[in-house]
Amino acid sequence: MDESTISSHEATVQIGDTTLLRPTSFAALAGELWCLTGPNGSGKTTLLRALGGRLTLTAGSCHLAGRPVDPNQPSQRRLLAALVEPIPVARDLTVAEQISMVAASWFGGGSESRERTSTMLEELGLNDLRDRFPHELSAGQLQLFGLALVLVRPSDVLLLDEPERHLDSARTDRLAELLVRRTQTGTTVIAATHEPRLVEAAHHRLALV
C-alpha cells in the first residue's frame, strides 16, 4: 500500500522541445519536511505546480493521499495548501482582517479562528503590522503576510516556492523553525528553496538537475 502523503512517479513536463521537468520521483510521508533544490531553471517550481495540480504532466504521475492529484476534488483542496503562485490580496482590508477571514472560512467565526489568527500573527512577527493595508508593506513583510494566509488554514500538505524570498536572516530562521513545528503536528512540507538554512532543517532533500 502507498502510505505517502504526496508523491511523484517519473513526473515529466515538456513543451515542444523544451523540458520543464525531467522525470522526477519521490514519496513524502506525513510529518516530513522536504526541500527541492537545484539551479535556476531545474524545474522546482514546475514540480510544485504539478503537485498542486496546476499543470498537466507530459508523462508520469503525481499522487496526493493515494489518489491522482486533482484540485477539482473538494477533499483534496482541504488537504493541500500552496504558496507557489502569488496569492490575491484585498487592497482595502488590513493584514489581520484578511488572515482572520481565511481562518473563518475554514474554522467558522468563533474562538478557534480568533486563536489561529493571533497565533499566526505572533509566529510570523506580524503583530505590529496587523492594521496595515497590503500596499503599506515592504517586500519581506508582504512575503510574511502571504505565508500567514497559507499557514492559517488547515493542510496535510504544504507546497511552498522559495518561502524565504525577501526575508532577512532572523526571519528566515524563524520560518525554518515554524516549518519544522508544522511537521511535528503531521503536516508534510515540500519547499523549493535556495536557502541553506531551510535545507539544513529538512528531513529530505530532492536535488533537481
Ligand X SMILES: Nc1ncnc2c1ncn2[C@@H]1O[C@H](COP(=O)(O)OP(=O)(O)OP(=O)(O)O)[C@@H](O)[C@H]1O
> Where on the chain is the footprint of ligand X (CB under 6 A)?
15, 18, 20, 38, 40-46, 192
Cα dihedral value 62, 66, 72, 74, nearest 10? -150
* Min separation Cβ 194 and ligand X, Å: 6
CB nearer to ligand X: give 18 or 169.
18
Give long-range contacts, CB 8 A cutoff, 24+ apart: 115-120: 116/152, 117/152, 120/148, 120/151, 120/152
Q: How many angstroms separate the CA atoms of 183 and 36, rounded?
A: 16
Q: Which three cell numbers stand for residue 27?
A: 514519496
* Min separation Cβ 116 and ligand X, Å: 30
* Min separation Cβ 205 and ligand X, Å: 14
Say if residues 109 and 117 touch (Cβ distance below 8 Å). Answer: no
* Min separation Cβ 49 and ligand X, Å: 8
Q: How many angstroms separate the CA atoms of 189 and 65, rounded?
A: 14
CB nearer to ligand X: give 11 or 95.
11
CB nearer to ligand X: give 20 or 158.
20
Residue type, 71: P
CB nearer to ligand X: give 43 or 53.
43
